[in-house]
Amino acid sequence: MYNWHLMDWDVIVIGGGASGMMAAGKAGELGKRVLLLEKNKYLGEKLKISGGGRCNVTNEEQDMKKFLSHYGPAEKFLYSVFSQYNNNDTFAFFESRGLPLIVQALKRAFPNTEKAIDVFNVMDQYLKESKVTVKVSSPVTKIISENGRIKSVVAGGVEYYGKSFVFATGGLSHPETGSTGDGFKWLNDLGHTVAKPTPSIVPMAVSDAWIKSIAGTTIDIMKITFFVDEVKSFSKKGRILFTHFGLSGPLILNSAKAVGDLLHEGIVTATIDLFPELDLGSLEKKMIEIFDANKNKMLKNIFSDLVPARIALAILTLLKEVNPDTKVHSVTKDERKQIVRLIKALPVSITGLMGFDRAVVADGGIPLSEIDMKTMQSLKIKNLFITGDLLHINRPSGGFSLQLCWTTGYVAGKNA
């Protein structure tokens, strides 16, 4: 019986995530003998949890210049690869395999079932149709190269020989799914440069006019609670700085990485509680005392007795049904309750993180100048192709991150 692992494979793909599955499936579809090596027990671990388990497959933006501008400085390198496979191809790919995509806010596209596992199942079926041989629980421990080419790789104590190789091992986000940066080390050993990731400790951008109107103001003690698609995620107490673009200060900077992950799951909002130590009843009692002492004054003139002066006017603009010119003695009980609820939950809409072109996921990886971006082929190693999160590209939320995996995976698989 032939020892199949000693076969000379046409293509060996390392990494069974989104870009690796796409690369292996495409190469197999073109009639190549393909081996896919995955270190986890199962393929697609990160894909199955992406987008909070709903999987933001791509973005429906039709203006390609606008679409690619989301990748920051990498934009100019990406036109060639996206002309071969783009978001419309992704829609067609899943649709033709029985999983139509639906478009939600911000043009984000999800499977119509809103289940990430269904996206994984389509990719898994694609590998089977393309006759890809899959070896799971097979971490690659050694890359053997000579004369500027990779000859073989060792995984699970077995040496596998191949004509060409695709590295699709992912970057460093979600290490619990196996993304531990192995690929960076191998690429470094093979002579590639590895750019360090941009730090994810950055301020947050918001769309709220009331926040921008009080730029420069600091509140020392408050509580901020973050929500994704209106479901509470986490809260933090401390000091916050309002800026012309949004929110900053230590508490915000230290929440940025977690909020960055939430931005990949859905629409992120927050509420700011100016009196975290008081419940609604106690705050209303405090307000009644201030009102009783100022019965004949206008609400707008005594509001700064209740909340920090710099933000009093900004908050009044949020009171849609209460006239700031109302005399305090005429403020109704319902209006009082509305004011208290607002002060305990000032609305914030988070649009992204500031920093490296408002990066949401750490970038880092191989500079695009070291890759032939028409084919995804390494310019250092003749028979190596590099995909997805191994590339030094700003990967924003909204479906752009996964689309980059589908595109680079497809092009690498086609050319490998």
Give tens-digit pLDDT for 204-246: 999 999 999 999 998 988 999 999 999 999 999 988 999 999 9
Taking residues 373-400, report their average pLDDT.
92
Does residue 360 surpass a pLDDT of 50? no
Give tens-digit pLDDT for 309-331: 889 989 999 998 889 999 999 99
Q: What is the pTM of this model?
A: 0.77
Q: How confident is the model at residue 1 (pLDDT cuts 50, 70, 90)?
A: very low
Does residue 379 surpass a pLDDT of 60? yes
- What domains sit in the chain, N to C, each tagged with a CATH number? 4-198+362-415 (3.50.50.60), 200-354 (no CATH)
pLDDT at 287: 94
pLDDT at 195: 86
Give tens-digit pLDDT for 29-60: 999 999 999 999 999 998 998 877 889 999 99
Does residue 274 surpass a pLDDT of 90? yes
Residue type (1 letter), 107: K
**Can you point out the beta strands (E) in 328-398?**
346-353, 371-372, 377-378, 384-386
- SS3 readout for 267-304: CEEEEEECCCCCCHHHHHHHHHHHHHHCCCCEHHHHHH
Taking residues 125-145, report their average pLDDT.
97
